[in-house]
Amino acid sequence: MVTELNFYQDSTAYTEAECFETLRRIHEGNRSSGGLKFVTTCYGIIGFIRFLGPYYMLIITKRRKLGEICGHTVYGVAKSKIITIPHASVLSNVAYSKDEKRYKRLLCTVDLSKDFFFSYSYHIMHSLQSNLSNSVEGHTYYESMFVWNDYLTRRIRNNAKDCMWTVALVYGFFKQVKLSVSEKNFRLTLIARRSRHYAGTRYLKRGVNEKGRVANDVETEQIVFEEAQDGNPGRISSVVQNRGSIPLFWSQETSRLNIRPDIILSAKDPSYEATRLHFENLAKRYGNPIIILNLIKTREKRPRETILRAEFANAIKVINKGLSKEDRLRPLHWDLHKHSRKKGTNVLAILDRLATYALNLTGIFYCQLTSDGFQNTME
């Protein structure tokens, strides 16, 4: 039974002709055992996994183009395949056991063709500002909270000299459209990156964990690129916002009969250390100030969301006592349910004013494309 996964990377750079000749020789040398046989087309290795028996290699066999960012193509996974290693002829009986088949069947239920995307040359797990401001090389970018196959690729990345064989998969949403306004051409890109930490379905994952990671953590980035024309340089801007579950220890009971299950607030963290860790992580990722937009209810006949609202407000108050005036959290509470029920209320207009207030505090990333490359500014 295979217990170790070993890799060998040939450091020789082959031309297309040399590659063809090398494969021909390998085929001839193994003709007695059937020689080389075409298995599938591969657009990248997703990773390797092992349960009880052999290792399995997950690969991308079909891709679709989703768009481009600064000339770098972004692809979506259209089709994937699982290949058993080693060959079936040398597998042990464990590979055919009931438990092994069950685990493999569960693995096959993961549909990678839905909402997984990647790029060979652009670090899609990072924001535009991060990519243009910092140089992240080698294996480091796989450690991002938004790379879902970090564990699956860890072994090959630790053994190989580079990451050219694997792709970093981001899970979320990617959409790009071309627009024309006042004879100017724009490319609008919307990216949503879901965190792999403390991930799960609604009701099963709520609140925060001991490491300060919240459930359903999603980073959304809007990129607007104006094409160069009439001698004017191209311009590009980026705005990033983050959403997640309220960073307290709370949960909800799952019940098919109760469509509005009770909210259970835990008293395990009276000093709000996990909440503090969460906001420290946000400050490290995005800087200050941090504007908190809270849309939950202010009043209820039967307290549910209001319990969270009061506790969260107290947590922010406690945390702010230990921060400087410039670094303090800036909470904004607006009862979305209450105002959306009022006749004549333009909810989007009000949210637009809140967004304007936040952007005036944080600024946006703006970059002008010059002949020498990029000229970065913050506005």
pLDDT-based confidence at residue 3 (cuts at 50, 70, 90)? low
Q: Is 119 within 8 Å of 73 (Cβ atoms)?
A: yes
Angle, in degrees to the nearest 10, between helices 305-320 and 273-286: 70
Alpha carbon separation from 274 to 211, 214, 217 (Å, rounded): 6, 9, 15
For the segment 340-365, what is each residue's pLDDT rounded down to a tens digit?
888 878 889 999 999 999 999 999 99
Higher pLDDT pick, 253 / 109: 109
Question: What is the pLDDT, as a whole number, of residue 168?
Answer: 95
Question: What is the pLDDT, as a whole number, of residue 9?
Answer: 81
- 319 closest CA partner among 309, 311, 329, 310: 329
Amino acid at site 353: R
Question: What is the pLDDT, as a whole number, of residue 217?
Answer: 95
Residue 291 in this model has a pLDDT that exceeds 60: yes
Q: Is 249 within 8 Å of 204 (Cβ atoms)?
A: no
Question: What is the pLDDT, as a whole number, of residue 286?
Answer: 93
Residue 372 in this model has a pLDDT that exceeds 60: no
Question: What is the pLDDT, as a whole number, of residue 117?
Answer: 98
Rank 44-58, 221-235, 292-306, 333-347 by mean pLDDT and report only the highest.
44-58
* Bridge-based pairing state of the strands 291-294 and 330-333: parallel
Residue 287 in this model has a pLDDT that exceeds 90: yes
pLDDT-based confidence at residue 336 (cuts at 50, 70, 90)? confident
Alpha carbon separation from 43 to 7, 30, 80 (Å, rounded): 19, 26, 9
> How much of the chain exceeds pLDDT 70, in percent?
92
For the segment 272-282, what is each residue's pLDDT rounded down to a tens digit?
999 999 999 99
For the segment 217-233, what is each residue's pLDDT rounded down to a tens digit?
999 999 999 987 777 77
Question: What is the pLDDT, as a whole number, of residue 361?
Answer: 94
The span from the CA of 4 to the CA of 19, in Å, is: 28
Q: Which residues contact 361 (CB under 8 A, 6 or more apart)?
A: 289, 291, 330
Alpha carbon separation from 61 to 42, 47, 203, 287, 315 (Å, rounded): 5, 13, 35, 39, 48
Question: What is the pLDDT, as a whole number, of residue 298?
Answer: 84
Bond into 86 cis (ω within 30): yes
What average pLDDT score do residues 109-123 get? 94
What average pLDDT score do residues 220-247 get? 91
pLDDT-based confidence at residue 138 (cuts at 50, 70, 90)? low
pTM for this predicted structure: 0.88
What average pLDDT score do residues 124-144 get? 79
Residue 136 in this model has a pLDDT that exceeds 90: no
Query: 97-106, 130-139, 168-177, 183-192 — which is least confidently predicted?
Result: 130-139
Question: What is the pLDDT, as a whole number, of residue 255?
Answer: 67
pLDDT-based confidence at residue 186 (cuts at 50, 70, 90)? very high
Rank 2-16, 37-51, 87-101 by mean pLDDT and report only the highest.
37-51
Higher pLDDT pick, 302 / 327: 327
**Chain mean pLDDT for the chain:** 88
Structural domain spans, the chain: 39-185, 197-379
Question: What is the pLDDT, as a whole number, of residue 252?
Answer: 82
Token readout for 265 is 């607030």
